[in-house]
Amino acid sequence: MIGYAMVFERIGYLPSTLATFVIGMLLLRERRITQFLLMPALIIACVYFGFTHLLSVYLPS
């Protein structure tokens, strides 16, 4: 989480959060390819949409 916080401002929300999700799923030994590809993208898209469109809070991209 410290690494995520350090790179969040430099590379933006989308790539840093995607990398964090993928690393977390690897650590938890997720091997189902559909879960591995779809879940991070779906969750990140929903959070990004919620912040930018519903709350008008723009995240670094």
> Is the pLDDT assigned to residue 53 strictly greater than 80?
yes
Distances (CA, A) of 53 to 18, 34, 48, 50, 59: 20, 27, 8, 6, 11
What does the alpha-carbon distance between residue 31 and residue 56 come to, in Å, rounded to a whole number?
A: 36
Reported as type and span, the H/E element at residue 31 is none
What does the alpha-carbon distance between residue 12 and residue 26 come to, in Å, rounded to a whole number?
A: 22
The predicted-structure confidence for 4-46, as pLDDT tens digits, reads as follows 888 888 888 888 888 888 888 889 988 888 887 888 889 888 9
> Bigger pLDDT: 8 or 55?
55
pLDDT at 61 (0 to 100): 64
> Is the pLDDT assigned to residue 59 strictly greater than 80?
no
A 10 A CB-CB count for 53 gives 9
